[in-house]
Amino acid sequence: MNSVKGKDVIEWFFARRVNTENVIQELVTHCNDRKERFSLQKQCFEPVDVYPVSNENNEKRSVMIMNRMPNIAKQPQKSSQRKEKAPPEVPAVITDKERGTYYEKGRFLGKGGFAHCYELTNRTTREIVAGKVVPKSMLVKQYQRDKMAQEVHIHRELCHPNIVKLFHFFEDSLNVYITLELCARRSLMELHKRRKAVTEPEARYFTHQVVEGVLYLHDLKIIHRDMKLGNLFLNDDLVVKIGDFGLATTVDGDERKKTLCGTPNYIAPEVLNKMGHSFEVDIWAVGCILYILLFGQPPFESKSLEETYSRIRHNNYTIPSISSQPAASLIRKMLDPEPTRRPTAKQVHRDIFFKSGFMPTRLPVSCLTMVPKFGGHETSMMEENVAPGGVNQRGQRPLNGRAGLAALPQHMISNNAEREKAQQQAAEATFREPEDAYLSQLFHQVAVLLEQRIPGIEEEEAALDGYQSPECLPVFWISKWVDYSDKYGIGYQLCDNSVGVLFNDNSRIMLDQAGNELTYIEKSNKEHYFSMNAREFPQTLNKKVTLLKYFRSYMNDHLVKAGEGSEQRAGDDLARLPTLRVWFRTKSAIVLHLSNGTVQINFFNDHVKMMMCPLMQAVTFIDQNKRMLTYKLSNLQRNGCPEKFLHRLKYAKTMIERLMSDANVVAQNPARQPEVRGMATARSASAGSRGPLHGGHLPQTASGSNIHPRR
């Protein structure tokens, strides 16, 4: 490292991605001039959260330079060192002595910086909150305690529907605890990783809530200063909650803050140029957030941090031509290089963008991984299938499953030609899924992992909180299934209690958990939506709907579920659920591939389930005790993997190859079934004429029966 001069510290600091004390050590060691070294040690920087733009895993890393720099720094850890830092020692029952409250420690939720987060259940009220746990060993320096005190001081006074609520903070001999509102659906970062770009109605929905939260903060003279997808959390109802006030500050009058802070992809030019900043930096960040939601990547992202900062300074970004005019206009206003020209939060809140098209009041949980079915009207199928008596039946515009596009309900579309065109263009901006639904991508990820020398660890060690990445838990997996492919197909239930059937002709049908919304997907991948309550589906679907009902009844009555269910929620009428795409059975497992890319393998001998997500680059195991353990593939490579799991990953690689082969067969001839499926169902060869319709119910599981359920 060359000599570091004061004016170059910022650029050098951002370009590095190491921990706090390593930064300090190298800065101090390599400053040749004694005065310069002393000055550097005395500089006061607030935390700078560095988000590496070119990191494939898109993993958040934080480094901080604080106002009181330690004189002695630890040596940098070697990259070959595989062990994660041990999680804090957290008792099974946590006591808030001041309030006389006892919390039971539950699931590990994630980690960041010094803190680990757990579900905590109040023993008296049974209320579940998120508990942020910071070991006191990480708060030995005064500046560390001051920083945490400032964060709590700002956050505890906030009360708004779009701000994560801070309930209490307390301590014991080991840790400091902060209890927070639980945001069970993680953050917009996980949505972005799974979806890339979202539709314009969804972007309005999320951004409008973000702006309402920012408006509330600015009215209180608070600048958040770290607005980004990872700090925008989602509760069970998919309400946006702004969190993480570690960089927040208050402003007096026209004060301009001089501190360098933020996250590179969201940093405003006045921060980089050290011109002083205020509320406008949050508006800039919201502009970046809207851009990412609509187009799937940050506006100034490049292959290097230096190039990213150059683009920010020169306002060098491009709005794709498919953007609607209102969206493009709002983005340009928020990303104006001159802070004084940017709109205030109040002006953004009133912007025409939020009135230029449909903005849902609620969204379904399925939108975390699948495009919602905003759908228009479809007449082609329904005109051919009018019910007896001439009753009009409502059909929905088909969606091409491979393109993943969504349209707006007809009654919500203006007659204005420009608006219709803009909304269609926005829909076309939606990230297009690959033809194989990410199978080749997943195969590559697993193959690369297995090519490395993966260190072995004990299974108990792998279950430790520090090794897991629960934020990568799949949104959907198959909790029950019934194989009746001898005659009809395979029925299955997702973890949210919705039920589907993949028929032998490769058509698919799906019923939501409430039994109200029906989706039918032709073998050509055209999608049609119907209301079960109004019996809107055409007569041609009567037999398949009847089979679906019986599959559903059988699974509810006879099979044990793998994983948790969920209650019906507002917005579920917009849900577009993943469906089973390809499957087969072997002697030891059933292998299932969902349309959102998830590959699931259920092992027969020990009932362990394995779900792999190519978009999150992660694998989840449900063990014999129904524990869910989720790991990033990169962490398995770095930290090690138990032989039991490693063996299953090797098996999965072979199974993914077979899935790819089967998918090719179906793509070339949608009506043809893969050979391996017929082989896999040979065990049910004794099936005769009896079937689900015989006797009004599905037959009980028995030796030689027509149906082969597995858990």
Q: Which residues are catalytically annotated?
A: 226
Written as one string, the DSSP assignment of 192-226 is: HHHHSS--HHHHHHHHHHHHHHHHHHHHTTEE---
How many whole angstroms separate alpha carbon 579 and alpha carbon 602?
17
How many whole angstroms separate alpha carbon 211 and alpha carbon 208?
5
How many whole angstroms separate alpha carbon 475 and alpha carbon 187?
13
How many whole angstroms separate alpha carbon 285 and alpha carbon 298?
10
Written as one string, the DSSP assignment of 336-394 is: -SSGGGSPPHHHHHT-GGGGSS---S---GGGGTS------B--HHHHT-PPTT-----
Tokens of 117: 């987060």
Tokens of 287: 């502009």
CB 110 within 8 A of CB 125: no
- Output phi, psi for 381, to 5 deg: -70, -40
How many whole angstroms separate alpha carbon 355 and alpha carbon 347?
13
Alpha helices in 232-324 (DSSP H): 269-272, 280-295, 305-313
CA 310, 15, 632, 112 torsion-angle sign: negative
Question: CA triplet 614, 639, 463: central angle to 5 degrees?
Answer: 85
CB 370 within 8 A of CB 577: yes
Residues in the chain: 711
How many whole angstroms separate alpha carbon 571 and alpha carbon 514?
12
CB 707 within 8 A of CB 483: yes
Q: CB-based burial of residue 117 (10 Å sphere; 0-12 exposed, 13-18 middle, 19+ buried)?
A: buried
In three-state form (DSSP H/G/I as H, E/B as E, the rest C), the secondary structure along 321-332 is CCCCHHHHHHHH
- For the packed helices 325-334 and 280-295, what is the interaxial angle rounded to 10 degrees? 150
- For the packed helices 20-30 and 34-42, what is the interaxial angle rounded to 10 degrees? 160
Neighbours of 1 (CB within 10 A): 9
Alpha helices in 534-685 (DSSP H): 542-558, 633-639, 643-668, 675-680
Q: CB-based burial of residue 99 (10 Å sphere; 0-12 exposed, 13-18 middle, 19+ buried)?
A: exposed
Q: Note the Cα 570 to chain centre separation in Å.
A: 20
**Does residue 132 have a known ligand-binding role?**
yes
- Of 200, 201, 223, 204, which Cα lies nearest the Cα of 271? 223
Binding residues for ATP: 132
